[in-house]
Amino acid sequence: MSDMGQIIISQTNNGIVIRYKNKNILLDPDGKESVSNKPDLILISHAHSDHVRGLKYVYKRGVKVILSRETYAILSSLGYKLHSQDVIFVKPGDELDLGDLRLSVYNAGHILGSCMFSIELPRVSIGYTGDFNFEDTLITRRADLMDADILLIDATYGHPLFSFPPRDILYKLIKESLKQLIEAGFIPILRGYSLGKGQELTRIAYDFVKGIISVTKEVARFNKLYEFFNKSSLGNYLVGASGDVLIWGLKRARELGNTRFRKLTFSGWTIKYGGRGFPLSSHSGFTKIIDYIARIEPDFVIPLYSNAPFLTRLIQKEFGIKADFFGSKTNNREIMYNISLRGLL
């Protein structure tokens, strides 16, 4: 049997690097420094800052950057700069031939423009979900299934504590809560990330509330981009701080002294940290993560983000699938996979 070589997957101080045949593929630069191995290719899953903020330290003219048109438009609106000749636009369903490897692109169901990637090498494919949501929402279609022998998966909520109720139930509960607050004379303030959650909250307010909806400038900016790319309206809304229901980002926490305001927070973390709100997340909850892994049937799983250690142990123990995680971001740990052996070194 010929030696097919090895793949080295590492978490660096600025994104995850996949190294194969002296080629470095950098996934989602998230750090504040350059990386020791210059990337040959950069893949951007989506435009949230914790996936792109390291771009300026690793992107140099001549390095190809693969991302969706939506992600590019959002990044441009936020002041990120990429040379047009270096940008390769992709969309779910695309397959690219890049010499030693093929790249397949999938919908991640997370926010506008979010993509997942499968890097296909001879005899082995590496799937990367970025942030993903394996459930339909009012504004996004659930994540696609993909081919992946090695699966790097979003484990932000990879713990049974975060078994979110189905979205249709959550929507009913939110509708009822908004109705009660408004009937009692309150002005609900719906708080969530401006990019992603802001668009879902705009749509929720429009569908569930009769009255004036006001959003922050930042939410409006992402709403406009969503509406442009999806050729569909999120509903009627104004920009400002007065209305029957207000939609704010998470940063804007002041109540402006109005005793009629009632803040509701929309995030998976409300389960852990409490407060008034709903666990409406743009990520898959625990049960959806498990469902996704079971359907993909990978040989090897690398859970990423907050609950990676727990999910790694669970997958190994309960499902008998090999798994490993990177641990802290600063240790630059490398996971080596031997292609001929189809296993770890």
Question: Which residues sit at the interface with Zn ion, rule CB under 5 A?
Answer: 48, 131
Number of C-beta neighbours around residue 223 at 10 A: 25
What are the strands of the beta sheet with 238-239, ordered from one edge? 238-239, 213-215, 245-248, 187-191, 261-266, 277-278
Please report which helix (H) or strand (E) contains residue 131, including its range.
none
Q: How far is the CB of 183 from Zn ion (least distance, A)?
A: 35
Picking from 80, 110, 82, 77, the residue whose alpha carbon sits closest to that of residue 218 is 77
Q: How far is the CB of 197 from Zn ion (least distance, A)?
A: 10
Apex 216 CA angle, 271 and 49, nearest 5: 60
Enumerate the β-bridge partners of residue 132.
Answer: none
Residues 10 and 152: beta-carbon distance below 8 Å? no
C-alpha dist (Å) from residue 255 to 5, 60, 252, 345: 58, 43, 9, 55
Q: Please identify, using beta-carbon distances, which residue of 120 and 131 lies nearer to Zn ion.
A: 131
Q: Please identify, using beta-carbon distances, which residue of 131 and 149 lies nearer to Zn ion.
A: 131
Q: How far is the CB of 45 from Zn ion (least distance, A)?
A: 8
Enumerate the β-bridge partners of residue 305.
Answer: none
Q: How far is the CB of 111 from Zn ion (least distance, A)?
A: 6
Q: How far is the CB of 76 from Zn ion (least distance, A)?
A: 18
Q: Please identify, using beta-carbon distances, which residue of 46 and 262 lies nearer to Zn ion.
A: 46
Enumerate the β-bridge partners of residue 10.
Answer: 17, 334
Q: How far is the CB of 36 from Zn ion (least distance, A)?
A: 26
- Residue 78 CB-density burial (10 A; 0-12 exposed, 13-18 middle, 19+ buried): middle
Q: Please identify, using beta-carbon distances, which residue of 197 and 262 lies nearer to Zn ion.
A: 197
Number of C-beta neighbours around residue 34 at 10 A: 17
Q: Please identify, using beta-carbon distances, which residue of 35 and 52 lies nearer to Zn ion.
A: 52
Q: Please identify, using beta-carbon distances, which residue of 26 and 112 lies nearer to Zn ion.
A: 112
Q: How far is the CB of 67 from Zn ion (least distance, A)?
A: 14
Q: Please identify, using beta-carbon distances, which residue of 131 and 200 lies nearer to Zn ion.
A: 131
